Structure 1
Amino acid sequence: MVLMVNLNDPRNAWWRHAVCYQIYVRSFADGNADGIGDLPGITARLPHLRDLGVDALWITPFYSSPQNDHGYDVADYTDVDPLFGTLADADAMIERAHELDVKVIVDLVPNHTSSEHAWFRTALAAGPGSPERARYMFREGRGEHGELPPNNWESVFGGPAWTRVDDGQWYLHLFDPTQPDLDWRNPEVADMFDDVLRFWLDRGVDGFRVDVAHGLFKEEGLRDQVVAADETEAASAEHSMVERVLRDEPMWDQPEVHEVYRRWRKILDDYPGDRMAVAEAWTQTPESMAQYIRSDELHQSFNFHWLTTPWSAPAFKKVVTDTLEAVSLVEASPTWVLSNHDVTRHVTRYGGGETGLARARAATLTMLALPGSAYVYQGEELGLEQVDVAPEHRQDPSWFRTGEPGRDGCRVPMPWGGDRAPYDFGPAEQPWLPMPAHWDALTVEAQDGDPDSTLSFYRAALAARRTFATTAGDTVDTSGSDADVLVVRRGPVVSVTNCGDSPVPLPAGEVLVASGRLTESAAGTLLPPDTAAWVRA
């Protein structure tokens, strides 16, 4: 099959083919010895991103917050939490990144605020029927005395999505009770976020990652969710987002949300430098995902279908073809992602150990060969696996609501150097989540200069990608694939991924980079199982 994707923007916008590195702020680098990552720590470690070869960084929320959901519960969208630094530190980070030719994308959290936000505190004090409460989803309860929640919706973090306040009303929180959902049908909400966008654009950020972009509007009337008898809800927050099985979703992906993004697009277009926004939109199909990236809406949407796909050549081929077909309908550019701060790291998902690492490297190389942009998560360039965080150290709010391990295992801080924890993460003896004792061989320091290390592989892959990412064209041909092997032809480059059990021959040409060691035979160069390579014809 040959697919065409139109990436021909006359401005050649940087985000169309960028490699973006996600920084989970509290786990990247600690600059003040409190065991928690911060903005000065990021600034000090920016040369790592330059040397890695990424084009942009995306940093998770660093705004004022009580940190009940590690910053995704925002109390003030236009200030920096003292835990992470100051506005001056944010300015310095943005300036230094730009000096190193790295763009900066910041997280925006528009679905909900913190319960400590001034608006919500005022709403509680104002009482039922007040204009202040109209900014949130306050409703009367059901039952004879209003003692039952307004509907049957469940929180992503487990348990009911409603909490009752002292005067008897209930408020909606699709996540934690400390994260009340805003009512986007109230024009004050839209006006406030217009100001937030301009505040950070004026400070020089290059774009926004939009948290829960599919959740701003709920179906009017807030009817019960219809759950079929054979449908079950996943227990953990991660599974609630990745393995979503409930097909009736009156709380997600409502058509009114697209007017918000048309409004935001006009603001972004008013600024120079191809400012952009990428949606975290957990939609049920590639086609519905593509609706968020029409020409007058957001620029990109995360393609989560790739990271939910098993290790399988046919499955990978389907993700590639379905994604490119979907974005071609709106002439948008695709994105590719294998890990982030909400899901199990892909080394572990692919089996863990040597096999999992080999497959993770091969999947990464495959992803990087495709048109569009790629998002990588901090630590994957070191081959980090999911950590089994002991119960007494877990901090994910979903753990406290469901009893399931949650997302802490992919958020353990970065190991930079040394032979014991905290591996130069910072001066503190132990960071906010404990680091494994066996990570001494996985640090940046330990892998730097080792040609066989995962870090060296990432550097080589990103350097090779730069030689064709913007010139190889938009045509993708997967017709040479079979049950064990995924073949992706794009311009002069052929990416071959062996998901089978036996070596396969590579096509003739120059090998640009391989995810593992190749072997030679009388028939030519062989690609071992669980390995990928790029060949320039």
Structure 2
Amino acid sequence: MVKRVVKCLRLRLARRRAQVSVAVALTAVMVAGPLAACGPAAPPVVSDRYRSYYEIFVGSFADSNGDGVGDLAGVTQKLSYVRDDLGADGIWLTPINPSPSYHKYDTTDFEAIDPQFGTMQDFDTLVAKAHRADVRVLMDLVVQHTSSRHPWFTQAIQALQAGTTNKYVDYYRFSSTPKAGYVRYGASDIYYSAVFSPDMPDLNLDDPGVRGEIAGIVGFWLRKGVDGFRLDATTSYYPYDAAASVAFQRWLKATSTAVRPDAYLVGEAWTDSTTLASYYASGVDSYFNYPFATVSGTLNAALSAKDGTALSQATQRWNATIHAANPAAMDAPFISNHDNPRPAGYLMRSPRLEKLAAVTYLLMPGSPFLYYGEEIGMLGSGSDPNKRMPMVWSATDRTGMTKPPPGGTYDESAVVPVDQQLKDPGSVLRFYHDVLALRRRTPELARGTYASITASDRAVLAFSDTYQGATVYVLENLDTTAHTEQLGAMGLPPSARIRDYLLTDGTATPTLSGGRLMLPAGAVVVLR
């Protein structure tokens, strides 16, 4: 028995950082799951395209040189935090190209690094060290528009003002008369399409020259070792022509895989569920699951109503829908990003609810995306800069801390910083680590065929995931009181046993006896 417990401990403590004390680690294991019920050794961790990605708003994450701006060297310094302390195995970098703005979504050079963030050597070092740690790297690919200061645009304007033309005139959409969605260039009779801002002129994605430039950009970064791209603003590629947008994204996917067959693409399509599902026909691997995300999404509604049945049924329908459009589709669940309010705010700053929301979306099929600071309960809503505030590493040591972005005013003094949460086995951060560890050692969760299971109480979220002939069953109690379920009544096999569990609140542990499963409030159980 002792040998068995030690074996389970070693499994659960794999990748714990050396400096975490044995006593703290043992406590974390006792909270995370049953040692006596550890059962057979878990399947080996699978390293493939299914990942748990961590979105890093580079300028606000980690400052390596003390200038108050986060940078690529800072990200490199924090790779051990991302991989070991948190447990993510992929990162998405928001734009790092030269740009006049703090957010960098209006680039002036697609094949360079903004000096604020470092050098190309810094980038190469980050990619190399990330890959050595089995962390994949995604870049933001912003090809719907450029900066108004981009040489392509300035040369096009110069030609038009001189009454001549050049190839760059065709790179954008110009008009000599006012049009909907067009803005005027100064006091001239030159108008240009700009969906987002006069500072961000839209590219003409139909132009062969533009397509050639984009193909070159994609190839440049993939050959430098990038593992894929987050596609910015896909609904704005062709705002009034969904079919054209799908066709363009199909071209982007083909262009990427021609350079690197395993390149992973995830698209931002902030739109209704019908349009979003139709985009999967492009062959793009994933799209952010906006219908489930944020304060108004399916997930938060289910948590608020304590309706696990509705959530599991909705998840099954959604996965069936996207796989009908693309059999190889991978959902990309999330609850926050740099454009949306941080969940700690709308979850009433309740660690219990933050943990419940986290385990619910992180155990969904596909590749989930976490937003930096989400795992420590950072706050932020309203104006965009307030959703992009500095990562709170410590309350006493300012090393690595950045300044707020321009316009950022949110008070983060109430946030418990990383260094304190790492020492607390019951913290939100340590819970995120435990959920991601569970996800890694249970390959069925990300890759399996999802099937909703109806529990006797709607507050119990129940589902199965089947992958390569193996099935796991997950039951999660969304309620604040305990519930008991009969496995047989739900169609679960009598041989099913508890293999893992997580607690979002309290210390009461799940029990299984005679086919009766007792789920404490907020408990999550994995059975095989």
Q: TM-score w.r.t. structure 2 length?
A: 0.78
Give the conservation status (yes or no) of the 8 Å contact 1:261–1:298: yes
The equivalent of 2:354 in structure 1 is 360
Deviates more, 1:131-140 or 1:327-336: 131-140
The equivalent of 1:65 in structure 2 is 99
Residues 198 and 190 (structure 1), Cα distance of their counterparts in 2 relative to 1, 3 Å cut? same
Residue number among 326, 332, 336 corresponding to 1:339 in the alignment: 336
**TM superposition shift of 1:415:** 1.1
The equivalent of 1:391 in structure 2 is none
Q: Summarize the alignment of residues 487-506 of structure 1 with structure 2, pairs less than 5 Å apart.
A: 487-491=462-466, 492-500=471-479, 502-505=481-484
Which residue identity lines up with residue 59 of structure 1 in the other structure? L
Which residue identity lines up with residue 194 of structure 1 in the other structure? A
The equivalent of 2:17 in structure 1 is none
The equivalent of 1:316 in structure 2 is 311
Which residue identity lines up with residue 353 of structure 1 in the other structure? R
Give the conservation status (yes or no) of the 8 Å contact 2:91–2:135: yes
Which residue identity lines up with residue 322 of structure 2 in the other structure? V
| 1:178-225 Cα deviation digits (max 9, x unpaired) | 11111112111111100000000110000000101121124xxxxxxx
Which residue identity lines up with residue 137 of structure 1 in the other structure? R
Residue segments in structure 2 that go unaligned for 5+ positions in a row: 1-45, 488-496
Residue number among 232, 243, 250 corresponding to 1:262 in the alignment: 250
| 1:18-40 Cα deviation digits (max 9, x unpaired) | 11111111111011212111111
Q: Summarize the alignment of residues 399-414 of structure 1 with structure 2, pairs less than 5 Å apart.
A: 405-414=382-391
Q: Summarize the alignment of residues 497-516 of structure 1 with structure 2, pairs less than 5 Å apart.
A: 497-500=476-479, 502-505=481-484, 509-516=498-505
Give the conservation status (yes or no) of the 8 Å contact 1:190–1:260: no
SS of residue matched to 1:339: coil
SS of residue matched to 1:459: helix
SS of residue matched to 2:290: coil
Q: Summarize the alignment of residues 19-418 of structure 1 with structure 2, pairs less than 5 Å apart.
A: 19-51=52-84, 52-67=86-101, 70-127=103-160, 130-131=165-166, 132-141=168-177, 149-151=178-180, 153=181, 162-218=183-239, 250=240, 254-272=242-260, 274-285=262-273, 287-294=274-281, 297-307=283-293, 308-309=297-298, 310-312=300-302, 313=307, 316-317=311-312, 319-329=314-324, 330-331=326-327, 332-350=329-347, 352-354=348-350, 357-386=351-380, 405-418=382-395
Q: Using the alignment, how far apart are the partners of 1:515 and 1:486 within structure 2?
A: 14
Which residue identity lines up with residue 460 of structure 1 in the other structure? D
**TM superposition shift of 1:82:** 0.6
**TM superposition shift of 1:289:** 2.0
Residues 337 and 361 (structure 1), Cα distance of their counterparts in 2 relative to 1, 3 Å cut? same
The equivalent of 1:239 in structure 2 is none
**TM superposition shift of 1:59:** 0.4
Residue number among 436, 452, 456 corresponding to 1:477 in the alignment: 452
The equivalent of 1:221 in structure 2 is none
**TM superposition shift of 1:123:** 1.5
Give the conservation status (yes or no) of the 8 Å contact 1:25–1:59: yes
Residues 430 and 129 (structure 1), Cα distance of their counterparts in 2 relative to 1, 3 Å cut? closer
SS of residue matched to 2:243: coil
Give the conservation status (yes or no) of the 8 Å contact 2:482–2:518: no
Residues 13 and 31 (structure 1), Cα distance of their counterparts in 2 relative to 1, 3 Å cut? closer
SS of residue matched to 2:278: helix
SS of residue matched to 2:315: helix
Deviates more, 1:121-130 or 1:410-419: 121-130
Q: Percent identity?
A: 30
Which residue identity lines up with residue 86 of structure 1 in the other structure? T
Q: Using the alignment, how far apart are the partners of 1:93 and 1:521 within structure 2?
A: 42
**TM superposition shift of 1:311:** 3.1
Q: Using the alignment, how far apart are the partners of 1:211 and 1:113 within structure 2?
A: 12
Which residue identity lines up with residue 420 of structure 2 in the other structure? A
Which residue identity lines up with residue 66 of structure 1 in the other structure? P
Residues 361 and 437 (structure 1), Cα distance of their counterparts in 2 relative to 1, 3 Å cut? closer
SS of residue matched to 1:270: helix
- Tell me, yes or no, if structure 1 residue 465 matches structure 2 residue 439: yes
**TM superposition shift of 1:282:** 2.0
Count of aligned positions: 448
| 1:226-282 Cα deviation digits (max 9, x unpaired) | xxxxxxxxxxxxxxxxxxxxxxxx2xx521123322322233223456111111112
Give the conservation status (yes or no) of the 8 Å contact 1:413–1:435: no
**TM superposition shift of 1:479:** 2.6
Q: Using the alignment, how far apart are the partners of 2:453 and 2:190 within structure 1?
A: 56
| 1:306-333 Cα deviation digits (max 9, x unpaired) | 1123332265345413321211202122
| 1:431-475 Cα deviation digits (max 9, x unpaired) | 764673634x62111111311011111111111111212477323
Give the conservation status (yes or no) of the 8 Å contact 1:140–1:168: yes
Q: Using the alignment, how far apart are the partners of 1:415 and 1:449 within structure 2?
A: 15
Residue number among 424, 446, 450 corresponding to 1:450 in the alignment: 424
Give the conservation status (yes or no) of the 8 Å contact 1:311–1:499: no
Which residue identity lines up with residue 302 of structure 1 in the other structure? F
**TM superposition shift of 1:110:** 0.8
Residues 283 and 13 (structure 1), Cα distance of their counterparts in 2 relative to 1, 3 Å cut? farther
Deviates more, 1:76-85 or 1:266-275: 266-275
SS of residue matched to 1:33: coil
Which residue identity lines up with residue 60 of structure 1 in the other structure? T
Give the aligned CA root-mean-square deviation in angstroms. Answer: 2.7
Which residue identity lines up with residue 210 of structure 1 in the other structure? L
The equivalent of 1:396 in structure 2 is none
* Structure having the larger proportion of residues in helix: 2
**TM superposition shift of 1:174:** 1.2
| 1:479-535 Cα deviation digits (max 9, x unpaired) | 33754332222244333344445432366734422333253699874432xx35133
Residue segments in structure 1 that go unaligned for 5+ positions in a row: 1-11, 142-148, 154-160, 219-249, 388-404
Which residue identity lines up with residue 150 of structure 1 in the other structure? K
Q: Using the alignment, how far apart are the partners of 2:285 and 2:207 within structure 1?
A: 25
Q: Using the alignment, how far apart are the partners of 1:13 and 1:110 within structure 2?
A: 30
